[in-house]
């Protein structure tokens, strides 16, 4: 790409008169910069390394001394906007499909896409993360994102992944966390998944067009119970009527709470949060740090404890550690 074209795309201003006029690719990680690249400096401390690694152009938002007048120094008003303009420009040259979806579909696609022949690129809310895979994008790739706003900026010709409505038959809810059902003449027996998330599972199967290896749902942590025995030690799935649920995605909390309350009316549910949740009002216990969780579980009578603001794996490791300590003594 010509330097002049780059400047037009990002709306930048050339600060010097470089001897080079052409760049090959763009990077945000100085360690990945190769000769001929343009480096987008989100952190000015990285500029010197990018120059040493062979950058032909540097894009900056704030003042930085021109330490090599042979390469191009370009000033922009916003690094983030420049990234978006560059990504959008490059994506426009590919024949792609792009979808925005809800968080549950995004996680299920991540779990099951490994067995699909489709080339799927997952865009997180962090543009810099996407940039790391940017050079590998090719025709017929599929872009998936949970952030419609970002996707609209990067690839406006996108679609709603969750737009289809599927007919589920013969639904049996064995528990809050295990279901059987039929879809498209296929019987799914005792799937370890809450019924609230069946539509996303079916949408994933329909989209990937593969037979799902349902054992992979062990990596799906939404409404995934950690069963506890009478001493609050971990026990096997379904071996107790006492369990802990963990959710740290604020977008899912309200729907999951409604689901729990509608399906678990006659049991005692407590809500433990790391910060005040408005929809719970006074019906919540504030947890200052995870080390206090043991005492809270011991002090409160419950069948279900819904933990908000914590990571599932963090809680699992914490409870596992407690179990190991109890075994020692």
What was the pLDDT predicted at 125? Answer: 72
Domain count, the chain: 4
pLDDT in tens, 178-231: 999 999 999 999 999 999 999 999 999 999 999 999 999 999 999 999 999 998
What was the pLDDT predicted at 90? Answer: 86
- Within its chain, how far is the Cα of 24 from the centroid? 30
Q: Provide the 10 A C-beta neighbour count for residue 306.
A: 23
Same domain, 211 and 249: no
pTM across the whole model: 0.86
Query: What are phi and psi for residue 180, nearest 5 degrees?
Result: -125, 145
Question: What gap in Å lies between CA 197 and CA 8, rounded to an integer?
Answer: 46
Confidence at 136, pLDDT banded by 50, 70, 90: confident
What was the pLDDT predicted at 312? Answer: 96
Same domain, 154 and 205: no
Same domain, 323 and 236: yes
Domain final residue, candidates 56, 86, 116: 86
Question: Which CATH number goes with the domain that contains 38?
Answer: 3.40.1390.10
Confidence at 310, pLDDT banded by 50, 70, 90: very high
Domain final residue, candidates 117, 147, 163: 163
Domain final residue, candidates 32, 53, 86: 86
* pLDDT (mean) for 96-103: 95
């Amino acid at each position: 790409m010509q330097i002049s074209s780059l400047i037009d795309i990002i709306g930048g201003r050339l600060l010097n008169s470089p001897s080079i006029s052409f760049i090959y690719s763009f990077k945000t990680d100085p360690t990945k910069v190769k000769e001929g690249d343009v480096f987008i400096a989100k952190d000015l401390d990285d500029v010197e390394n990018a120059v040493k690694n062979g950058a032909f152009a540097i894009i900056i938002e704030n003042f930085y001394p021109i330490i090599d007048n042979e390469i191009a120094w370009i000033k922009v008003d916003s690094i983030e906007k420049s990234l978006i303009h560059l990504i959008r420009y490059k994506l426009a040259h590919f024949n792609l499909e792009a979808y925005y979806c809800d968080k549950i579909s995004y996680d299920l696609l991540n779990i099951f896409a490994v067995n699909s022949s489709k080339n799927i690129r997952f865009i997180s809310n962090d543009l810099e993360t996407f940039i790391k895979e940017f050079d590998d994008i090719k025709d017929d790739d599929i872009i998936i994102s949970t952030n419609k706003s970002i996707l609209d900026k990067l690839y406006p010709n996108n679609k709603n992944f969750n737009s289809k409505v599927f007919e589920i038959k013969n639904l049996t809810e064995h528990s809050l966390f295990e279901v059987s059902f039929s879809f498209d003449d296929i019987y799914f027996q005792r799937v370890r998944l809450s019924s609230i998330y069946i539509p996303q599972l079916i949408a994933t199967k329909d989209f990937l067009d593969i037979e799902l290896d349902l054992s992979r749902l062990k990596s799906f942590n939404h409404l995934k119970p950690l069963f506890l025995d009478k001493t609050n030690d971990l026990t096997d799935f379904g071996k107790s009527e006492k369990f802990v649920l963990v959710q740290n995605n604020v977008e899912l909390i309200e729907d999951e709470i409604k689901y729990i309350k509608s399906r678990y009316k006659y049991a005692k549910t407590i809500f433990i949060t790391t910060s005040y949740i408005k929809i719970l009002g006074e019906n919540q216990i504030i947890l200052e740090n995870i080390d206090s969780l043991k005492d809270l579980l011991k002090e409160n009578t419950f069948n279900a404890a819904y933990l908000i603001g914590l990571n599932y794996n963090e809680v699992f490791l914490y409870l596992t550690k407690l179990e190991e300590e109890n075994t020692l003594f």
